């Protein structure tokens, strides 16, 4: 049992990336149709790549890493927050050492099972209010 626990904790993080069409999001005032999600866990059964409804397969103990990129290199995007049940995962903002590049990370806690919906809030361009994903992506705990 201890070996299985050690094996789970030594797995590489599951990275979830968001790509935002900043110009489109600002023009339509919505992330709908302007957000593309992907992850690094397709071999484990993740699905919905390139959509707003990504289903990321994860296991208890997995570290999850969320990042965001703008489709337009000159436009600013950043993750403002991740809305998820904190009893199952508590995402926190971190910054890569020596940079101002932020990312979010959290670990899937014991007791997490089945579909765990979450939404992300993004800072987009010069807009003062964060934009929230219109649909929920899902962590699928197995």
**To which residue do tokens 């361009």 refer?**
125
Tokens, residue 63: 């570290």
Q: Are 54 and 45 in contact (CB under 8 A)?
A: no
- pLDDT(3) > 60: no
- With CA atoms as reference, report the closest residue to 136 among 117, 123, 122, 121: 117
Mean pLDDT of the chain: 92
Tens of pLDDT, residue by residue over 80-133, are: 999 999 999 999 999 999 999 999 999 999 988 999 999 999 999 999 999 999
Angle at 20 between CA 66 and CA 138, to 5 degrees: 45
Q: What is the pLDDT of residue 9?
A: 62
- Structure tokens belonging to residue 119: 């939404």
Stated pTM of the model: 0.89
Domains and their CATH numbers in the chain: 2-141 (2.60.40.3910)
């Amino acid at each position: 049992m201890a070996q299985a626990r050690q094996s789970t904790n030594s797995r590489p993080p599951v990275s979830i990336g968001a790509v935002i069409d900043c110009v489109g999001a600002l023009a339509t005032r919505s992330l709908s149709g302007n957000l593309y999600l992907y992850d690094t866990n397709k071999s484990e059964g993740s699905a919905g790549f390139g959509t707003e409804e990504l289903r990321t397969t994860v296991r208890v103990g997995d570290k999850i890493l969320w990042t965001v990129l703008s489709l337009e290199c000159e436009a600013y995007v950043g993750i403002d927050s991740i809305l998820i049940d904190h009893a199952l995962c508590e995402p926190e903002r971190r910054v890569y050492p020596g940079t101002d590049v932020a990312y979010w990370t959290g670990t899937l806690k014991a007791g997490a099972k089945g579909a765990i919906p979450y939404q992300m809030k993004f800072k987009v361009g010069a807009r003062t209010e964060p934009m929230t994903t219109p649909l929920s992506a899902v962590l699928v705990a197995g």
